Amino acid sequence: MAAHPETTAQTLSWKVGGMDCASCAAKIRGAVERLPGVSDVRLSVMSETLTLALGPGATTPEAIEKRVNGLGYTTAALATPATAHPAAEQDACGCGHDHGGHAHDHDRKHDHSGHDHAGHDHAPKGAKSAAAAKDHGHGLPGHVHEATPDGASWYQTAKGRLVIATGLFLGAAYAAGLIWPGIGHWAFILACVVGVAPVARRAFAAARAGIPFTIEMLMTIAAIGALFIGAAEEAALVVFLFAVGEVLEGVAADRARASIRALGDLVPKTAIVEENGATRQVDAASLRIGQVVLVRPGDRIPADGEITDGTSGIDESPVTGESVPKTKGVGEPVYAGSVNREAALRVRVDKAAEDNTIARIIRLVEEAQEARAPTERFIDRFSRWYMPAIVGLAVLVALVPPLLLGAEWSVWIYRALALLLIGCPCALVISVPAAIAAALSAGARQGLLMKGGVVIETAAKTGLVAFDKTGTLTQGKPRVTDVVALTGSEAEVLAFAAAVEHGSSHPLAEAVLERTRTDGIAYKPAAEAAALAGQGVTGKVDGRAVFVGAPRHAESRAPFDKRARMAAEELEAAGKTVAAVIVDGALAGFIALRDEPREDAAAAIAELKAMGIRSTMLTGDNARTGAAIAAGLGMEHKAELMPDDKVAAIKAFSGETAVMMVGDGINDAPALAAASIGIAMGSGTDVALETADGAVLKSRVRDVAALIRLARAAMGNIRTNIAIALGLKAVFLVTSVLGYTGLWVAILADTGATVIVTANALRLLRFDAGKAS
């Protein structure tokens, strides 16, 4: 880490091993923020990184590493961006990498429960530290869920090796007891000491940091207490089962990360850059905007960009989930991680590696991990007083019966120790973040992004979905829906229109030209083509004068009979834009155009209705078009709305129920921010994606229902987990006090509950949100 000028602060980053939940991150933050000169502490659970600003002449990087390592976590320094003042703009993902100057609005949107997204705390530093000091229980310093390194098995981790060593010593103790009964007791003591030593070391490190009530401390007290009352065999078994539980938790957490790591692996490591007619292979991460890369058939595209040469089928399923390859040519966008199936392409890089589509997905999911759900925060607050209460109850169980009733000390101390073990809140505290992490990962794989637990909770409560029209419910560009020929054939009407519209970039002209290409209609570009401002276009086709424009302007050029007027009015009543085609002063026919609903829009509205959710369309389009589109989809609507009108409508709806807003454009950003939850279409603008709380990357309307379905499944999973955790605690707390269950049953119940809720949460990884229940 290079020295920096005295007037600035270093921005430093570390990879932190063992940080598997939001509580772990909070405890690291609390411990590190107490060090002099440390500010702007940011942690990302999904990427396991710690980033902070370190002032000059205060704490050294080595001291920070020592503090984190002392809490039982591992650290490895990462390359960091240039020195930055603590108040300077920071990247939003908390991963410590320079995102190419791509600024994220740190005040983009606070969730409605008061918790800030992406782990950016806006509370005073002192307040955060105080809160961290009080946050006892699962995930505290010392209570480490060690992540399995990429490509490594569980037994290659320190936790895994401890399980193996403790298991071997425990097995050897049982064997020794059978062969040499006299030394069996001492063998169990040795097995217990081997297993509990690292746990005790972490427990005392946490206590020195001012956090005495940790599961490690309870485990240490229980194990040492059991040895003193002669229960060495049970003490050794308890320590072994505890170690097994920790390994299982770490493996489960890594499973949730694996799907996100797999996304990152989609982008190729190298790219072929073409410069001055020559090609060379470079690191894909080093690609610069404006460079041209050669993508051969079968290769993955190394960067987001635009095709400059070639036409090929592009398999975008790794990015969007769409199973059918799309044929793309010059001028069309492509995404990093997509597969070029057919022919060589040249692609101009439009976005740096850190800002490509996949990097943004990963960054959004990482940020989401820091936005904790209200349920999770409540359980954290609950555990702060729960742990001391359990310790106090255990003390009473150990002292009151012997002192007041003359009961046997060893019996009631044993029961108190069992109570300490069963009282561990691990299963309860992990029940929410495990389900949230699994749901976020499952959603990311299916193209459904949600920025944290609070978004999942809010989405599950959605009672009304408000859709923008253009680009959300519709394709975002008009197409020809009807051709009415009054003289001649429909093909002739289209050919005359295409002839005078040839070369125009107007959306309506492009729609007419697209229809002629689709129908295979040949035409010759018009001579003397000209645009008449506010009226239409004119030109000559084989010497015949042609005009294409709105019916009200066309009537001055050709007579309209009753049939013609009725046809035009009928098309306009359906919310369609009508163009009249006049040839040599006679009306040849009409062409109707409309931005049509997406193919799945009607099915999506039906699915939402079946789920008990209302749908409404908010559009700035005219009332007639809005009514026609809404009627065809079977939904409510409000038309002719400006952006501030949409915000007002959202606020009015919010007084009745939780509102989800779905949009794609810059004009949708205020409404997305005003809604209980804002969802951006994946094909939308960067502004919409940044403002929103989530996104549907496949740009399918049905994915809105899928996202809500996933959120509901996650909340159902969380409720089940909490019921399991609390139910088992209640049963075994009673049986432990009454003496029906001993130490090993207590720890087995605790570990079992943790494993059950974790396994239940991991079921969400296989949840298919696209299937209507």
Closest CA to 437 of 47, 18, 8: 47
Q: What is the 3-state secondary structure (H, E, C) of 740-760?
A: CCCHHHHHHHHHHHHHHHHHH
Q: Using an 8 Å Cβ cutoff, are 664 and 691 in contact? A: no
Does residue 468 carry a catalytic annotation? yes
Q: Using alpha carbons, list the distances in angstroms from residue 716 to 236, 334, 373, 709, 764.
A: 37, 38, 14, 11, 11
Cα 771 off chain centre by = 20
The conformation of residue 555, written as its DSSP 8-state character, comes to T
Tell me phi and psi for residue 448, to 5 degrees: -115, 110
DSSP character for 471?
I
Quick one: tokens of 666? 């810059």
DSSP 8-state secondary structure symbol assigned to residue 769: T
DSSP string spanning 209-240? TT----HHHHHHHHHHHHHHTT-HHHHHHHHH
| Residue tagged active-site, from 20, 304, 468, 693 | 468
Counting Cβ atoms within 10 Å, is residue 2 exposed (0-12), middle (13-18) or buried (19+)?
exposed
Amino acid at 390: I
Q: Are 742 and 414 in contact (CB under 8 A)?
A: yes
- What does the DSSP 8-state code read for residue 597? B
The separation between CA 309 and the C-alpha centre of its own chain, rounded to angstroms, equals: 34
Question: Distance (Å, rounded) from C-alpha 122 to C-alpha 130?
Answer: 14
Beta strands in 560-682 (DSSP E): 577-583, 586-594, 614-618, 636-638, 658-663, 677-681
| Whole-number Å distance between alpha carbons of 91 and 104 | 7
Name residue 288's amino acid: R
Evaluate whether 171 touches 240 at the Cβ level (below 8 Å): no
Q: Is residue 270 within 8 Å of 282, Cβ to Cβ?
A: yes
**Radius of gyration over every alpha carbon of the chain, rounded to an integer in angstroms:** 33
The residues, any chain, with a CB within 8 Å of residue 282's CB and separated by 6 or more, are 270, 271, 272, 273
**749: Cα separation from own chain's centroid:** 33
Positive or negative torsion for Cα 410, 411, 414, 416: negative
Gap between the Cα atoms of 370 and 378, Å rounded: 15
Residue that is written with structure tokens 């009054």 in the block:
486
- DSSP 3-state helix, strand, coil percentages of the chain (rounded to 5)? 50, 20, 30
> d(Cα 598, Cα 600) in Å, to the nearest integer?
6
Which residues of 55-171 form beta strands (DSSP E)?
74-78
Cα separation of 161 and 180, whole Å? 27
- φ, ψ at 606 (rounded to 5°): -65, -40
Identify the H or E element spanning 411.
helix 409-422
CA dist 199 and 158 (Å) reads 12
The token duo for 262 is 């797999």
Structure tokens at 192: 């217990």
Residue with tokens 């955790």: 725
Q: List the catalytic residues.
A: 468
